[in-house]
Amino acid sequence: MKWIKLLTKNKIPYYIYKIKKEDFIILNKNNSNAMIILSGIIAITKVFHNKELLPIAILDRNNILIRGSKEAKTYYKIVALEKTYILTLNKDLLNKSNNILININLLNSYNKTIDKYEAMNHIMSQKQIKHRILQLIFTICLQFGKVESQKIFIPFKLSNKNIAILTGTSENTVNKVIRKIYQQGIIKDYSNKVISINNILDLNLK
């Protein structure tokens, strides 16, 4: 992988962590490392002191995280939606690097990460919960979907619990909405929590 090769070549120390599906890690104000996703998919939420959750982004390969929350009693929770490998290193060493390839890759990772943050902001801007859930599903299909036999499907199990977290609603509400849009034919398959859509051009979102 390019990050491992670049860091090894420039003698910048790093560590690699494996996060199993549904496992999580916490980032708080004491976090001083940069984190680069080598493979896998993670969901990030901001957890406030009253336990309220704010969805932040869904990130994958080559996206980057630089710091935890600066606010007291507030932290970021990173949940693996599938098996994920994360590279961590001292952010000061990364920022001080004079290697042009590292800086180019760092800039590209920043830009890709910002796009993912903007996508989540767009999802949360939907006032109706149904539209918010649909926007989440379509965004995930666009970012991570696989096309097979004229069908696009999400290549990992997306639980109703995670949909609730990523749309800022309750799991009970998600159950009702998912059941309704499945019956309407918006989602063509929902077996084993693997979502697929047969023909996105024929969708009726009313």
- Provide the whole-model pTM: 0.83
Distance CA 99, CA 7 (A): 10
The residues pairing with 202 across neighbouring beta strands, listed in sequence order, are none
Residue 120 sits at φ, ψ, to 5 deg, of: -70, -35
CATH architecture of the domain covering 129-202 = Orthogonal Bundle (1.10)
The pLDDT tens digits along the chain (206 residues) read 788 988 888 888 999 999 999 999 988 777 778 899 999 999 999 998 888 889 999 999 999 987 655 666 788 899 999 999 999 988 777 777 777 888 888 889 989 999 999 999 999 999 899 899 989 988 988 888 887 766 777 878 888 889 999 999 999 999 999 888 877 776 765 555 556 665 555 544 44
Domain 2-102 has CATH 2.60.120.10: yes
Q: What are the tokens at 47? A: 């957890």
Task: Give the count of beta carbons closer than 10 Å to the beta carbon of residue 107.
Answer: 10
**Domain locations along the chain:** 2-102, 129-202
